[in-house]
Each structure stands twice: as C-alpha cells, then as structure tokens.
Amino acid sequence: MPYAVVVGVDGSEPSAAAAEWAAREAHRSGRPLRLLHVGGTGSPAPGEPDTGGEPLPQSVLATRDHLASVLPGLEPTCDQVPGNPAYALAAAGGRDGLLVLGSRGLGGFAGLLVGSVSLRVAGHANCPVVVLRAGADGQGEDSGDVVLGLDSDQACPDLIAFAFEQAAARGATLRVLESRKVPAGPYSAEGVVYQPEVREALEAAELTRLQEALAPWREKHPEVRVQAELTAWSAGRALVEASRSACLTVVGRRRPRLHPAAPWLGSVTHAVLHHAHGPVAVVPHD
C-alpha cells in the first residue's frame, strides 16, 4: 500500500485549504488521503470510526465528504488522535509519507507569519511537510513552476528527487535556483585578460557545477523541463520572489546529527516559510 498523504484538519479555513491541496496531491499520485484531527477524549459518534477520543467535529467530517464528492475515486479516511498537535502531526507521516498543513500564523507580527505548530512540525517530521500559509497570494493552484532552492556543494538526493517527482507529476517546469556570488574582482592573470571575461568564465563554471549536480535526475526524468539559474540575491530573497509564479517551492532541512529529536530549520527555510507567496515543501535530509 502506498504511503499516505496526511493533512492536519481542525475545521478552520486554513486547514480546509490544506485539505483541498492534499486531496489533489493524493488524487494525482494515487496515494491514500488521511485527514487527521488532534484532540478529544470522549466516545465516537454512532456510525463513526472509533477515534479513541470524543466525536470528530462535524466540520472535519464535512471536509472529508466534500473531498470525496469532488474527486471521484478518492476515499479519504478521517482519524482523531490525542496529544500535542505538533508532535502528533510530525509522527503521523512516518518517514515516507507526506504531511500537509494550513497555517493561520500568529498575526500582528510581520516576521511571524507561520504558526508555531507548522514550524514545529516542519522542524521535527521525518517526511516532507507542505505548509500553506494563510494570507499568501496563492494557495496552491497546479499551474506554475516547481521551484527548488539548492546548494550544489551539498546536493541532497532526497531534496532533488522530491522536486523532480513533483514537477513530473504536474507536468511543470522545474526551476532550480542557487545563490552564488562570483567575486567582483579585480582578477589577476599571467596574460592579458579582460576582467568581464574572467567573471563570465567563473559564472559559467558555477552554472556547470549546478547542472552536473542535477544530471542524474534529469536522466531519470527526461520529461521534466529544467531551468537552472544562479542568482546573486540571498537564497531566501530569491526563493520568495520566485514563489510568486510557482505552484510549489521546495526547500531542504538537514536532520540534526547530534540531537536527532531537536527541530532545526535553517535561516533560508525559515524565511521562505514565513514569506513565500504559495505552498512550501520542507524536505528533511541527512
């Protein structure tokens, strides 16, 4: 059985938007869709599954029924688990699933646009986490590029593979961005060399290295059109700007080696989660 797409639902508008996105992803990929509500301690309602807690909210059940009606063949399940929402959701996807979350954010603070639960899940989960931030310009339409932020010095297979698979499934262009500043010069050489020529050669060498990092996955997914770019902007700024026309922005998160249970979101991933104009996928890697 394929690993599920798991979406956290609580009856709010952001979680309903996340459920819509997750349903399209499950329908497209052929994965099961699991709606997960965290909380409750009572008994299930008559005719409803035993969730181990109080009855599922009617708004959650209505979301399930709506998704099943608009996507024929999709049979979403609905579960309720007790515990801390961040830890329960982070555990729900396992290592090979896909977690989808809507985020209401904290409100009132320009730098705190993603809620604490979403940040904790993105920092703890062992599987990719997609966050749809309330108030973002786009909420995950399937048109647009898949944008990948990459450091070719540390080209992580899990991160690149996820981005290629998402682009292939959507028939989208994969736009790969790397922030790389070429020294401004002046350059020294034994012969007479024009400074602009040196700079162009250095930029070409950096782009070649990026292309080489992508080569194995381009061979595996020849149907995916790849657009590799170097930018002098900071990685966070470049990815946020690129997300304006993206259906999904993909960034990585390194799993801590010394303290595996500790959450870790780098500065670039943190910035993209807070400010991207559409859904962001955070992919953990070693």
Average pLDDT over residues 209-214: 94
Residue 23: helix, strand or coil by DSSP?
A: helix
Residue 192: per-residue pLDDT: 45
103 neighbors 131 (Cβ within 8 angstroms): yes
* Cα torsion through 60, 3, 29, 158, rounded to 10: 120
**Chain position carrying tokens 């955070």:** 282
Q: Quickly state the pLDDT bin for 182 (edges 50, 70, 90).
A: low
Q: Quickly state the pLDDT bin for 140 (edges 50, 70, 90).
A: low
Strands (DSSP E) contained in the chain are 5-8, 33-38, 77-81, 98-103, 129-133, 145-149, 174-179, 226-231, 246-254, 280-285
pTM of the full structure: 0.86
116 contacts: CB under 8 Å, gap ≥ 6: 86, 106
Domain boundaries, given as residue ranges, for the chain: 1-135, 140-286
Residue 189: per-residue pLDDT: 56
Residue 11: per-residue pLDDT: 86
Distance CA 23, CA 77 (A): 11
Q: How many CA atoms lie within 13 A of 34 on its CB side?
A: 20
1-135 — its CATH code?
Answer: 3.40.50.620
CA–CA distances in Å: residue 265 to residues 16, 190, 251, 272: 26, 45, 10, 11
Give the lowest-confidence range in 62-71, 95-104, 138-147, 189-198.
189-198
Closest C-alpha among 268, 275, 194 to residue 231: 268
Residue 134: per-residue pLDDT: 75
Strands (DSSP E) contained in 150-273 are 174-179, 226-231, 246-254
What is the rounded average pLDDT for all residues in the chain? 84
Cis ω on the peptide bond leading into residue 260 (within 30° of 0)? no
Closest C-alpha among 184, 227, 187, 223 to residue 207: 227
User: Which DSSP category does 139 fall into?
Assistant: -
Looking at domain 140-286, which of 3.30.470.20, 2.40.180.10, 3.40.50.12370, 3.40.50.150 is its CATH number?
A: 3.40.50.12370
Q: Could you report the per-residue pLDDT of 86-137, keeping only the tens digit for each?
A: 889 999 988 889 999 998 754 433 444 567 888 899 998 999 999 998 766 6
**Fold match, 1-135 / 140-286:** yes
Q: Judging by DSSP bridges, how do beta strands 98-103 and 77-81 pair with one another? A: unpaired
Angle between helices 13-29 and 157-170 (to 10 degrees): 80
Q: Is pLDDT above 80 for 271? A: yes
